[in-house]
Amino acid sequence: MAARRSRIPATKYPVERFTLDNGLRVVLTPDRSAPVIGVAVVYDVGIRSEPEGRTGFAHLFEHLMFQGSENLEKLAHFRHVQGAGGTFNGSTHLDYTDYFETLPSNALERALFLEADRMRGPRLTEENLRNQVDVVKEEIRVNVLSRPYGGFPWLTLPPVMFDTFPNAHDGYGSFDDLESATVADAADFFRRYYASGNVVLAVSGDIDVAEATELVTRHFGDVPSRPAPRRPDFTEPDLTAERRSSYTDALAPLPAVAGAWRVPDPVGDFAGYLPYVVLAEVLTDGDASRLVERLVQRDRTVTSLGGYLGFMGDPFDVRDPTALLLQAHLPPGGDVDKVLRTVDEELDRLATDGLTDGELARTQARMATHLLRDTDAVLGRALRMAVLEQQRGEPGLLNDLPRLVGDVTEEQVRAAAATLRPERRAAVEVIPGGAR
């Protein structure tokens, strides 16, 4: 008898959508329960869109967007947000770049002015460019070059799995590429990708929809109209033979391994993709999960284990091609081949024998809890809706995600597990370099 499916309700956050004459798409989701707002501006450009010879440029340009704008000097954005009691940041992903603020609701117009001003034009000067190249290089030194397991596996596994530059290259960037960037390169990147037709603005929280609509139109309506660039086709054929690679990390004290398999298109085949999202959690989420129980607790062949969809860890903000990843750290002298063989055994067992009683419902309840928690805060809601609007034209899908995760069946999870064969896997091994 099939296990009883989890019953998870949908949320009911309201969604208002409209598009300005210049192509800017806007999503508003009011919530008057607390006097706070989240503002998210998401540009449809990320690491995959970087031209060859300009690795790291999407992230570098994110930094440049904080260096002053048409009417504001350097650091003014920081001062105005923090002076209103707010917080702000930005981040670069494979498929988009976002900028965001959390503020008291009486500072809505301030946030909209700030974002509209830099959408018209950031201050792209030689001084700002050279300064931010140095900042990004320091980030690479701190987060990759001087850190054990730096870049593992999000930088080290894609070149094993993929063949094309957009999917395989180092998104943090090489020092040579960063240092050779010019102001003209930055201006061209801005004209091409930071076009009004390539952006989604989302505002969530304590807003009046009519007032917010008027303010958005006032501040963004005269942003020059430029259409979105044509998005290249980044698809690649699936693997037909296992790919393995290894490298020595001089700072790593213990061996590690990561493996990945391609999964269905997260946007074009969402129904086929969802079972893999659930499968990753069945395998690795919590002490009772399949691989944690086997590899960590019983066999003790690994000391830690994680699994997720997408190289940057969020299953609902990535386009095709992407992958289901598993990564593990091993004890001294650990056997990577044995770990991978055990993973294969557990996948075969799951596909053949199915799940234990309550295993799927328990996993789905945890996943729904995480989804609900992540969008309970107004900023989390704005960011999620902005990306869903950008990639799918469906910001209201946020309301249905917990329920859709709960609707995945045991048969679908088993079928997904059956596709994760060794011949479709890419794996990268970290060899410790002697640090103790």
In a domain, 51, yes or no: yes
* pLDDT digit string, tens, across residues 315-348: 999 999 999 999 999 999 999 999 999 999 999 9
* pLDDT digit string, tens, across residues 379-432: 999 999 999 999 999 999 999 999 999 999 999 999 999 999 999 999 999 999
Looking at residue 434, what is its pLDDT? 60
Same domain, 138 and 181: yes
In a domain, 129, yes or no: yes
Range of the domain at 65: 16-220
Same domain, 211 and 258: no
Same domain, 95 and 126: yes
From the list 16, 5, 26, the residue with the least C-alpha distance to 112 is 26
Same domain, 212 and 278: no
Same domain, 138 and 177: yes
pLDDT at 77 > cutoff 80: yes
Strands across the sheet containing 256-262: 243-249, 425-432, 256-262, 323-329, 304-309
Asked which of 165, 186, 220 is the last residue of a domain, the reply is: 220
From the list 212, 204, 228, the residue with the least C-alpha distance to 384 is 204
| pLDDT band for position 65 (cuts 50, 70, 90) | very high
Cβ-contact 424, 261 below 8 angstroms: yes
- Give the chain's domain count: 2
CA-CA-CA-CA torsion for 341, 347, 348, 353, nearest 10 degrees?
Answer: 140
Same domain, 357 and 409: yes
- Rounded-to-integer distance, Cα 337 and Cα 58, Å: 36
* Number of C-beta neighbours around residue 358 at 10 A: 13
Identify the weakest region by mean pLDDT among 3-17, 167-181, 319-333, 374-388: 3-17
Looking at residue 5, what is its pLDDT? 52
pLDDT at 6 > cutoff 60: no
- Rounded-to-integer distance, Cα 53 and Cα 173, Å: 9
Same domain, 248 and 114: no
Looking at residue 313, what is its pLDDT? 79
Region 101-113 average pLDDT: 98
In this prediction the pTM is: 0.95
From the list 266, 388, 274, 391, the residue with the least C-alpha distance to 321 is 266
In a domain, 9, yes or no: no
Please report, for residues 20, 30, 68, the alpha-carbon distance to residue 211 in angstroms, rounded to integers and kept in the order given. 15, 11, 27
| pLDDT band for position 16 (cuts 50, 70, 90) | very high
pLDDT at 80 > cutoff 90: yes
Work out the mean pLDDT of the chain and round it to a whole number: 95
Alpha-carbon 102 to chain mean position: 20
Same domain, 194 and 261: no
In a domain, 295, yes or no: yes
pLDDT at 3 > cutoff 80: no
- Rounded-to-integer distance, Cα 191 and Cα 429, Å: 40
Please report, for residues 124, 176, 179, 182, 183, the alpha-carbon distance to residue 130 in angstroms, rounded to integers and kept in the order given. 10, 13, 8, 9, 9
In a domain, 7, yes or no: no
* pLDDT digit string, tens, across residues 112-169: 999 999 999 999 999 999 999 999 999 999 999 999 999 999 999 999 999 999 999 9
Same domain, 267 and 137: no
Same domain, 340 and 204: no
Looking at residue 60, what is its pLDDT? 98
Cβ-contact 237, 161 below 8 angstroms: no
In percent, how much of the chain has pLDDT > 90? Answer: 95
Looking at residue 2, what is its pLDDT? 45
Evaluate the CA torsion angle 394, 237, 313, 115 in order and state its sign.
negative
Looking at residue 328, what is its pLDDT? 98
SS (H, E, C) the chain: CCCCCCCCCCCCCCCEEEECCCCCEEEEEECCCCCEEEEEEEECCCHHHCCCCCCCHHHHHHHHCCCCECCCCCCHHHHHHHHCCCEEEEEECCCCEEEEEEEEHHHHHHHHHHHHHHHHCECCCHHHHHHHHHHHHHHHHHHHHCCCCCCCCCCCCHHHHCCCHHHHCCCCCCHHHHHCCCHHHHHHHHHHHCCHHHEEEEEEECCCHHHHHHHHHHHHCCCCCCCCCCCCCCCCCCCCCCEEEEEEECCCCCCEEEEEEECCCCCCCHHHHHHHHHHHHHHHCCCCCHHHHHHHHHCCCCCEEEEEECCCCCCCCCCCCCEEEEEEECCCCCCHHHHHHHHHHHHHHHHHHCCCCCHHHHHHHHHHHHHHHHCCCHHHHHHHHHHHHHHHCCCCHHHHHHHHHHHCCHHHHHHHHHHCCHHHEEEEEEEECCCC
CATH number at residue 146: 3.30.830.10
Q: Between vectors from CA 131 to CA 387 and to CA 64, what angle results, nearest 5°?
A: 25
Same domain, 215 and 250: no
Same domain, 271 and 317: yes
Looking at residue 7, what is its pLDDT? 72
Does the N-terminal peptide bond of residue 153 adopt cis geometry, omega within 30 degrees of 0? yes
From the list 58, 59, 115, the residue with the least C-alpha distance to 88 is 115
In a domain, 4, yes or no: no
Region 35-53 average pLDDT: 97
Please list the residues that pair with 28 across neighbouring strands.
Answer: 16, 203
